[in-house]
Amino acid sequence: MFFSSCASKYSTSSYASDIQVPEWVINPSRNGLIGGVGYCAAHINGYAGQKELASKRALEDIARQKGVLVNSILLVSSKSSNNTKLPDTTSKNISSYKTQQNVKAYIKEIWVHPVSKEMYIYMIAE
């Protein structure tokens, strides 16, 4: 990856050249504002599902920056093959957030990668 001051150039493969990634994807908190970025690849529920998940992740990013207690648990089941343990493909990542305060934010910008169709949502804390 190559990063410049206003935007970064991100080449995903030989058929995608110099895609301009918004600066906020890399640096969401700036100018004294708390910002968060949420990401979602293609989603089974289409654009709406992608937007919902990316929004939740952006809120979680803001919550972490505000010092909200974050409990993350990674559950990995494993299977044995030839006396070696291999991770199972059905691992789950569970995150829970406990707080007495509400985290309020608004969507500032949405960017969809033109090749991979990954969605990035930029939110600013109120």
- The DSSP bridge pattern shows strands 35-40 and 119-125 to be antiparallel
In one-letter notation, the amino acid at residue 95 is: S
Give the pLDDT confidence of 50-69 residue by residue, as tens digits.
999 999 999 989 988 887 65
pLDDT at 126: 87
More confident residue, 33 or 100: 33
Query: Helix, strand, or coil here: 30?
Result: coil
**Separation of alpha carbons 49 and 46, rounded Å:** 5
pLDDT at 15: 46
**Separation of alpha carbons 113 and 110, rounded Å:** 10
**Separation of alpha carbons 110 and 120, rounded Å:** 6
Sheet of 35-40, strands arranged across: 35-40, 119-125, 105-112
